[in-house]
Structure 1
Amino acid sequence: MARYTGPRLRVVRRFQQQLPGLTRKTDGVRANPPGQHGARRNNRPSDYRLRLDEKQKLIYNYGLGERQLRTYFKTAARRKGDTGKNLLTLLESRLDNVAFRLGFAPTIPAARQIVKHGHVTINGRRLDIPSYQLRPGDVIGVDESSRAHPVIVETLQSPSLSVPDYLDIDTTKMTGTFRHAPDRADIPLEVQENFVVEYYSRVS
């Protein structure tokens, strides 16, 4: 599955909840799902559908492909501890997500773009790999030549989310420090990660 590039509010309406990494808009949350006959779809979803939807939330929110998410799941399963929480930690530690959480971009897709275009630095050096896994102590910044970039300046002035505890930010220097791996409470996405684990356990 390729990354989703279609209407974002349609996705928000499908899940009936905000996906903070996908869009800042909230008017897509309505009383019925998308489609002409959405209001009539009152059937109780199957157990498989419930698990599929939770997996899809991660794909849409973090802007991943199916193969990417499956790779992250396999990595999370090999680590000690709860596989679901390990999976969220890996996704939340991506450079594009951290640039978004620091307020350098309004959404994760926008953060991915500024990373790819060389506007973001790690420990003083430009890095254009959105999937880069940050480690404690890494300093994320805006390249000196990009500090007047309108998207970055505007988002820093009105961020969509508060900066989580695992990050420190210096808005005057446009830098942030990755203090430690994210805790579950630091992740604003409403998702049942245990359902994602069950989904991949069934289909693998």
Structure 2
Amino acid sequence: MSKRHSAKYKIDRRLGENIWGRPKSPVNRREYGPGQHGQRRKGKVSDFGLQLRAKQKLKGYYGDVTEKQFKRAYSEAARQKGDTSQNLIGLLERRLDALVYRAKFAPTIFAARQLVSHGHVFVNGVRCNIASRQVKPGDEVTLGKKAQEMALVAEAQALPERDLPDYISVDGTKVTFVRVPTLDEVPYPVKMEPNLVVEFYSR
């Protein structure tokens, strides 16, 4: 399992955007980048720079996704029929940790991954501790009894900053994955550009 060793909010500051829409994000106070040269005027960003930034933003949003996992998701999206950028979003939203996060069972994508890896999440009644598992339409995901009593879960469900999307159905501590979403259905707090990610990998 990959583990994040650096502070996650550094991603926000490096990109200059509050990518998770969290009120604690340092970008809300300081819009410039981290480090002693963060306030210097930014030069013109090249096409490659824009593509790399879009890739880092999308990859960073989904938490501790490794470069290898992310590239594998792109390759799978490119193999599927239809628009590769839409397919990529669909594959990322089908991750089990992403579904747990969307259902407001965890306050952050990192906490959602931890809930899954610690064995608190069940898919169709079977315990699953693989955060990258792909759920299918119709799959039911539930929280274990111990997790239902966690303060973390209660905190997440009380968060006002996230709405439940239409492609999942939540009933208490049970969530059903209704369908694979399109880009415009996913409630990203900032603009994501998967088309630039596709350009980055297809160079």
TM over 0.5: yes
> Take 1:105 and 1:25, find their aligned partners in 2: how far apart are those partners?
16
Structure 1 runs not aligned, ≥5 long: none
CA contact (8 A) 1:4 1:60 kept: no
> Take 1:85 and 1:100, find their aligned partners in 2: how far apart are those partners?
20
Q: Structure 1 residue runs of 4+, over 4 Å off?
A: none
* CA displacement, residues 147-179 of structure 1 (integer Å, 9 cap, x when unaligned): 1022112212225411100001112xx111101
Kindly report which structure 2 residues correspond to 1:52-201, keeping only aligned pairs within 5 A, or say none: 52-63=52-63, 64-158=65-159, 160-171=161-172, 174-189=173-188, 190-201=191-202
> Take 2:48 and 2:162, find their aligned partners in 1: how far apart are those partners?
32
> Post-superposition shift, 1:18?
1.8
Output the aligned Cα RMSD.
1.7
* CA displacement, residues 47-93 of structure 1 (integer Å, 9 cap, x when unaligned): 11110011111221112111111100000000011101110110011
> Take 1:31 and 1:109, find their aligned partners in 2: how far apart are those partners?
23
Q: Report the equivalent of 1:31.
A: 31
> Take 1:186 and 1:9, find their aligned partners in 2: how far apart are those partners?
25
> Take 1:154 and 1:184, find their aligned partners in 2: how far apart are those partners?
27
* CA displacement, residues 120-143 of structure 1 (integer Å, 9 cap, x when unaligned): 111122111111111111111111
> Take 1:160 and 1:12, find their aligned partners in 2: how far apart are those partners?
17
> Post-superposition shift, 1:3?
5.3
Structure 2 runs not aligned, ≥5 long: none
> Take 1:169 and 1:71, find their aligned partners in 2: how far apart are those partners?
29
Asked if residue 19 in structure 1 is aligned to residue 25 in structure 2, the reply is no
